[in-house]
Structure formats: C-alpha cells, structure tokens
Amino acid sequence: MNKNNKIAYIGLSADILHEGHINIIKKASKFGKVVVGLLTDRAIATYKAIPTLNYKQREIILKNIKQVSKVLPQHTLDYRPNLNLIKPNFVLHGDDWKTGVQKKTRTQVILTLRKWGGQLIEPKYSKGISSSLIKSRVMNLNTPTNRVSILKRLLNSKKIIRVLESHSALSGLIAENIEVKRYKKIENFDAMWSSSLTDSSVKGKPDNQSLDFSSRFSGIGDLMDVTTKPLIFDADNGGRLEHIPFTIRTLERLGVSAIMIEDKVGLKKNSLFKDQSGAKQDTIKDFCKKIELIKKTRNSKNFLIGARIESFILGKGLQDGLRRAKAYSEAGADLILIHSKEKNPKEIFSFSKIFRTKKYYKPLVSVPSTYSKTTESTLEKNGFKIVIYANHMLRAAYPAMQNVAKTILKNQRSFELESKISSVKEVINLIK
C-alpha cells in the first residue's frame, strides 16, 4: 500500500494554531492522508477553559491547510470512537502524553491500533509553545465585547458551570488561577459572581441596597482588570425601572456576562433570613417589564438576563414558581434561578423536574448555600446548568482575619501565625 492509500490521524484542539500544530501536521503528511480529529468545544471544556475560537472557526482554519485531507469532530478526549470509525494506519501525537492526565488515553490508542496493525508515532513535543501559553500572553487583548460572550459559550460547552463569588480583585485572582487534580482531571472555576451581600459587607454596610450600583461598578472594574473569566452580576431586584438602562450599558462596557435580578420589591431583606415577614414579591407583570427593558437595552444577545424566583423563600410554593418561570422565560430571561433556604434541595428538584420538560425551559441556576451537602453532579443530574458559590470567599476571609488579629493580641507578635498564613512571596507570585 502506498502513502496515498494510508491514513494518518491527529487529535487536536487547535484553539490558537501555532508552529507545534503545523510541525505535527507536516510530519503526519509524510505517512499518509492527514485526518484531524478536532476536539469539540464541549470536549475541550472537560479539561480546560473553553477555546477562544469555536469549533466551526477552528474547523475552517484546519480545512484550509493544504496537508489536511479531512477534519472530523472528536467529541471526547477518547480517541477510540474516531479510530474505530476510520481505522487509520498511523496516529501521531507529541511525546508529552507519556505521563500526566493523557497517559491513559495514550494506552487506549495503542491497544486500539493493535486491532488492525496500526502504529503510534510520537514526534518530540515542541516545548515552550502551546495554545494556553499564547492565550495567557494575549490576556490584555481580551476586550469587554469578547468577554461578555464567554458565559453563553460555556452554556453550550459544559455540563455544569461552576461559579465562585469574587468580592475583590485579589479573590478574583484566586478564582482565576486556583485548580486541583481530582480523579486525574484538573478542576477549576468557570466564572465569577459579584454578590450584593459580599460587596456591601466588604464596605461595612448592610445588605439592604445601601450600597449603590455605581460604588460596586468601581470594584468590578478592578476585578476585570486582572481576570479573564466571565462575571455574573447580582443586581438584587434591578433597582428602579428608569435606572435599568444605565446599569445594563455600564455592565456591558465593563465586560460583564450576565445580570441576575430577583422578583422582590421594597427594601431588601436577605433571602436566607428565616424571618421574611414584610418581604414582598413583585407582580409577574411588573417583573416582566424589567426583563423586557433589559432585553431591549442590551447591545448583544450574548449578555444574559437571569431571573431569580423567590416563591419558595416567601412560602408561595411550587405552582407560583412555575407560573413565574414561564412568564419570565417568555419575557426574555435567559437563565432561571430558583432559590431556596431549605437544608435539602427537594423543593428545587421538584421545580426542575417539571420546568425542564417545558418548551419555555431556560438553563437553571442553583445557589446551594443552605443545601451545601448537595454535589455538583447531583445538581447536574437534576437539570441544573449553573452552580453559584455565592459568598464563601468572604465567609472564609472573615474568621481567618479575626484569628490573625486575636493571635497577634494574645502573643504580642506575629511569629505564631507564620506557618498558618501565606508567605509574602506567595502573594507576590499571585499578583503578576
């Protein structure tokens, strides 16, 4: 069999095409017709941030490289479905996957190729260059317009989106960079949450809308300067109807991806307070006016509108929540947050079971502050698309700072703290 009858398969994400990609494509072309298994956005999102370019854009680029004969979607990190489909004579991959998270995938490829006598070829990995590295270098080119769209793309790419409250630029840097290895998979946060509770608490003010939006916008600007991940803005009830256009235009200019408004009226009372006496829910008609105005005002459909339903909080029950979800969805809400202060998720799961079967369904958001034993996988299985850890960073910081202050007072020095707090070097290395 001559070269023209043989197939050389390459699995690529090719988010930002670079010399390493070109090198391996040229190498593959020496062995046969090059077929690229292009990872879908969803596949990439299982192990790192969603790609800068979507699947279609990356496909067009690869199809226009003369050495590439065909591009196939690779729907998972697992090569085997595509390998069994086309039975390539060769698979090419850089030798960097001999260790680390891709080691298992490599073994699967070798065993699969053996079925028809195929061969794995591993060119030396091009060190010092990768799509992730290039993306980090062009962070400052991440314009607000581009940034707004990221959350919407995440909704189409990930099974569940993990969001961390970020009340300052420093906490945002943690949300941006923190990662852990769990079951051979890298876990990180997908987005940030600007909470009215934590923003007011940082400034020493009560969570009753005493802190106006203009004050919060300044902090968001600082946060967005040092991060790249999308941000959801907690806007309480959205404020006066006349002020909404200003709020939306400002959020879009800052690069915020979504606004979340709740269907309460009057002076705010935090939903997690047991005593909700005096708290009132907006009429469906009036709340829909707010949604419709946001929809009319926003410059881009990529800026998402979240509607938070307080029916369970105020004891109105399941049917009231469902009526509101239908109306809010039809008015233009892109996300529905069904809130609960119960210690288990039973009532929100009852809501989800019915709501996600309806034609007016919109992605569901959970804030599991009270039902904290519920795992993300359980939420996802029950129809939730976004989980927001809404106040945990501030709640962690407060007792930690208290302990520092007490320890210094008790010992009249700081030595006892040194092994329990970050070194100055760690802080310096975080802020680059």
The catalytic residues are: 207
Residues 8, 35 contacting (CB under 8 angstroms): yes
Long-range interactions of 366-371: CB distance < 8 A, separation 24+: 366/337, 366/338, 367/337, 367/339, 369/272, 370/272, 370/340, 370/341, 370/342, 370/343, 371/340, 371/342, 371/343, 371/344, 371/345
Residues 308, 264 contacting (CB under 8 angstroms): no
383 vs 119: CA distance, rounded Å:
42
Say which residue the tokens 């200019």 belong to: 253
- What lies within 8 Å, CB to CB, of 209 at 6+ separation is 196, 236, 239, 267, 268
Residues 282, 264 contacting (CB under 8 angstroms): yes
- Reference 216, options 243, 254, 159; nearest CA is 254
Parallel, antiparallel, or unpaired for β 264-265 and 280-281? antiparallel
Task: Give strand pairing partners of 9.
Answer: 35, 91
Task: Give strand pairing partners of 24.
Answer: none
Compute the residue count for the chain: 432
| Token pair in block for residue 184 | 């051979």
94 vs 10: CA distance, rounded Å:
10
Single-letter amino acid code for the residue at 406: K
